[in-house]
């Protein structure tokens, strides 16, 4: 079966990209299930109810979050009511929501999804994502042998470490958070699909989805700036993992990077 994973969706342009491309992927590429990182879906910070509804209408089957999980206060109610949104599993157990779930894909196959957050160069020290990964995987293995992990982390080294740590134990590990896609999609020796970062789904000519000038000024002068969202044409970033249903192993990867307008000419 094919599972499409889509990287950090930023604001209205990102949401439009989902409407434009997820259906195509489902019907033309035979995608059975779609996982979307929604931590930036509302104005780049968090996911409100209206954005959640749009993501689901656009074809997101499961939504994962990250360091912006709590930025929209509606998220706690969404997680209480909806069964297809998860937040990092290694957040404190007092936090609302769950860190993993089992979703039944349209082909009837059960897929476990785990969300984790890294500890390197991120604001808060969470519980170990590695120990938590093992715990969540043990729980999910009782229900399915197909498990996909979204590791929301800054450091490429921490993400690679997670990939190798989980190699042979899960079907795929993909990274989110940096908003810049890496070209290292691969199948690790134990049969786990891997990519360090899916990239961002949002405005192409931007700095991680925000307008360029204030960010350049911030870096140049060190002075605080108001970071507005960027405007312009969009891009769609993700990766399709082809999973053998009987073994749970990854048998193919296809990195997706679509820019609605080419800037290379
Ligand atoms: Fe993000
Ligand atoms: Fe993030």
Question: For residue 264, is it within any domain?
Answer: no
**Residue recorded with tokens 């093992």:** 134
- Cα(142) to centroid(ligand 1), Å: 31
Domain enclosing residue 244, as ranges: 2-259
- Cα(203) to centroid(ligand 2), Å: 16
Q: Cα separation of 146 and 127, whole Å?
A: 24
pLDDT score for 265: 52
If you average pLDDT over residues 82-101, what whole number do you get? Answer: 96
- Is a pLDDT exceeding 70 seen at residue 43? yes
Neighbours of ion ligand 2 (CB under 5 A): 66-67, 177
Q: pLDDT category, 192, cuts 50, 70, 90?
A: very high
Residues with catalytic function: 68
pLDDT one-digit tens code per residue, 201-238: 999 999 999 999 999 999 999 999 999 999 999 999 99
pLDDT score for 124: 76
- Is a pLDDT exceeding 90 seen at residue 92? yes
pLDDT score for 42: 98
- Is a pLDDT exceeding 60 seen at residue 151? yes
Q: The domain that contains 40 carries what CATH number?
A: 3.60.21.10
177: left (phi over 0), alpha (psi -120 to 50) or beta: left
Share the mean pLDDT of the chain. Answer: 96
- The per-residue b/e assignment along 117-135, b for 16 or more CB within 10 angstroms, e otherwise, is bbbeebeeebbebbebbeb
pLDDT score for 126: 85
- Cα(68) to centroid(ligand 1), Å: 7
Which ligand is located closest to the Cα atom of residue 36?
1
Question: For residue 265, is it within any domain?
Answer: no
- Is a pLDDT exceeding 90 seen at residue 108? yes
If you average pLDDT over residues 80-96, what whole number do you get? Answer: 96
Question: For residue 223, is it within any domain?
Answer: yes
Higher pLDDT pick, 124 / 115: 115
Structurally, the chain folds into a number of domains equal to: 1
pLDDT score for 123: 78
- Is a pLDDT exceeding 60 seen at residue 150? yes
Quick check: helix, strand or coil at residue 250?
strand
- Is a pLDDT exceeding 80 seen at residue 125? no
pLDDT score for 264: 63
If you average pLDDT over residues 53-64, what whole number do you get? Answer: 98
């Amino acid at each position: 079966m094919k599972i499409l994973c889509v990287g950090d969706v930023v604001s209205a342009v990102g949401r439009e990209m989902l409407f434009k491309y997820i259906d195509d992927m489902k019907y033309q590429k035979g995608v059975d299930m779609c996982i979307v990182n929604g931590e930036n879906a509302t104005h780049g910070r968090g996911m409100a109810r209206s954005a959640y509804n749009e993501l689901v209408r656009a074809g997101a089957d499961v939504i994962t979050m990250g360091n912006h999980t709590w930025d929209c206060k509606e998220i706690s109610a969404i997680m209480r009511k909806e069964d297809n949104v998860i937040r990092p599993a290694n957040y404190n157990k007092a936090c609302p929501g769950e860190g993993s779930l089992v979703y039944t894909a349209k082909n009837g196959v059960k897929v476990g999804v785990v969300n984790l957050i890294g500890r390197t160069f991120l604001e808060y020290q969470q519980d170990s994502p590695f120990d938590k990964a093992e715990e969540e995987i043990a729980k999910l293995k009782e229900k399915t042998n197909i498990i996909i992990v979204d590791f929301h982390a800054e450091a490429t080294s921490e993400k690679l470490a997670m990939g190798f740590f989980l190699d042979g134990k899960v079907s795929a590990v993909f990274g989110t958070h940096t908003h810049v896609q890496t070209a290292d999609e691969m199948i690790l020796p134990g049969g786990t699909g891997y990519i360090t970062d899916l990239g961002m789904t949002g405005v192409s000519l931007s700095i991680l989805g925000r307008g360029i000038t204030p960010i350049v000024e911030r870096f140049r002068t060190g002075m605080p700036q108001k970071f507005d969202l960027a405007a312009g044409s969009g891009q769609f970033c993700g990766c399709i993992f082809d999973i053998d249903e009987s073994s749970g192993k990854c048998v193919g990867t296809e990195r997706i990077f679509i820019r609605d307008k080419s800037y290379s000419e």
